[in-house]
């Protein structure tokens, strides 16, 4: 039996587990504080589960589990939630599901029912919880303590099998950015599978392997974080469509102009693409999966601006907000934060748009406010 005594130090091999648990929780927060859209809620909850479970793995393989006995038992309901959440995420990227329905609760019944198992454990005092944990990690572990985790892991595996059957044809058929998103989902499956293996290792008390399993999970979380930063519009924008086939012509006649306008507005207002100083007509058109000609034509016909003027209008709007809300912040810092690559570019664009310099704009409004 492993010696589960409280340790007050962290080993170097624990750092990736703790760091990625924190990354997963930050990603969860990033999704959950956004506009309450279906995919945001699903992904936020998924990363919340992943961060919690990664922290539990750290507690177990570092033998610090007695430090937090009050949160140890919550991993069972979270395990039961992973399968349904992954299923709903896949439905959202396949454009099959975009909102919650009352019947969706049926997928979460195992998670809800598992609360009946942990409820008596939660109300125990800390010392009793520690005794229960000691029993779980010993040969004295009861049959129910082993069956429930096995059922949770089995549920994940069954959902994974069904999801893979559903998504593999789409991976073969899709191209471009949509294919990248499907591959991202595939790597997410690998993380879930690793979590399942980690759960099995808990049950069979193979603690030495848990260190390596949690390290692999750390790699997957980092990969997901990098992907979400590289392609934020794919992960977060629930209504972006595969437009390469639909918009194959070089003109706008066959395009859904309203949908395209909404997508551009989302990328500018919500994702603040304009803050990227390297943003180009080509990069934005790739994000929207249309040609540069189509994007340029759309901006000219529906906004009366070329690409640079259109992007600079958002950058100037953002800089005006910062000039007024952050009176002590210098103009160069504001220019770079708004997406300009130099102060001179910011100054010239600002004066052209507003008719006055940034300093004069700030001074003018400070006088009005006073």
Tokens describing residue 230: 């590289």
Q: Give the range among 41-45, 54-58, 333-337 with minimum mean pLDDT.
A: 54-58
Q: What is the pLDDT of residues 268-323, one digit of tens each?
A: 888 888 988 888 898 888 878 788 888 888 898 888 899 999 999 999 999 999 99
Q: Give the range among 88-92, 119-123, 165-169, 258-262 with minimum mean pLDDT.
A: 165-169
pLDDT of 337 over the 50 cut: yes
Query: Model's pTM, two decimal places?
Result: 0.60
In total, the chain counts a number of residues equal to 370
Rounded-to-integer distance, Cα 156 and Cα 204, Å: 18
Rounded-to-integer distance, Cα 320 and Cα 334, Å: 9
pLDDT of 250 over the 70 cut: no
Mean pLDDT of the chain: 77
Residue 208, classified by CB atoms within 10 Å of its CB into exposed (0-12), middle (13-18) or buried (19+), is exposed
Over pLDDT 90: what percentage of the chain?
A: 12
Query: Domain residue spans in the chain?
Result: 12-236, 243-369
Tokens describing residue 180: 């990248």
Burial 95-127 (b: 16+ CB within 10 A, else e): eebeeeeeeeeebeebbeebeebbeebeeeeee
| CATH superfamily ID and name for 243-369 | Homeodomain-like (1.10.10.60)
DSSP 8-state secondary structure symbol assigned to residue 247: T
């Amino acid at each position: 039996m492993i010696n589960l005594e409280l340790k007050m130090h962290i080993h170097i091999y624990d750092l990736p587990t703790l760091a990625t648990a924190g990354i997963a929780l930050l990603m969860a927060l990033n999704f959950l504080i956004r506009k309450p859209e279906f995919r945001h809620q699903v992904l936020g909850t998924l990363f919340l589960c992943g961060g919690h479970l990664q922290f539990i793995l750290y507690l177990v393989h570092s033998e610090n589990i007695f430090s937090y006995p009050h949160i140890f038992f919550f991993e069972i309901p979270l395990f039961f939630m992973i399968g349904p959440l992954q299923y709903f995420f896949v439905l959202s990227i396949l454009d099959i599901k975009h909102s919650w329905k009352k019947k969706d609760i049926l997928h979460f019944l195992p998670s809800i029912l598992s609360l009946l198992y942990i409820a008596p454990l939660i109300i125990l005092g800390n010392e009793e919880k520690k005794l229960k944990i000691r029993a779980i990690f010993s040969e004295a572990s009861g049959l129910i303590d082993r069956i429930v985790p096995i059922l949770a892991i089995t549920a994940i595996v069954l959902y994974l099998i069904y999801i893979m059957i559903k998504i593999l044809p789409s991976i073969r058929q899709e191209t471009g950015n949509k294919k990248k998103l499907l591959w991202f989902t595939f790597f997410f499956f690998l993380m879930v599978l690793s979590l399942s293996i980690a759960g099995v290792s808990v049950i069979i008390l193979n603690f030495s392997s848990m260190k390596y399993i949690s390290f692999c999970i750390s790699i997957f979380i980092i990969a997901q974080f990098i992907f979400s930063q590289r392609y934020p519009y794919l992960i977060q924008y629930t209504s972006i469509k595969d437009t390469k086939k639909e918009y194959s012509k070089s003109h706008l006649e066959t395009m859904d102009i309203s949908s395209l306008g909404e997508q551009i507005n989302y990328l500018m207002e919500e994702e603040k693409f304009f803050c990227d100083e390297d943003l180009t007509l080509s990069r934005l058109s790739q994000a929207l999966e249309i040609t540069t000609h189509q994007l340029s034509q759309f901006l000219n016909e529906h906004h009366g601006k070329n690409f640079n003027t259109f992007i600079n209008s958002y950058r100037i709007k953002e800089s005006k907000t910062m000039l007024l809300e952050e009176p002590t912040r210098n103009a160069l810092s504001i220019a770079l934060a708004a997406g300009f690559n130099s102060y001179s570019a910011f100054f010239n664009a600002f004066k052209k748009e507003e008719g006055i310099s940034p300093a004069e704009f700030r001074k003018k409004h400070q006088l009005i406010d006073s």
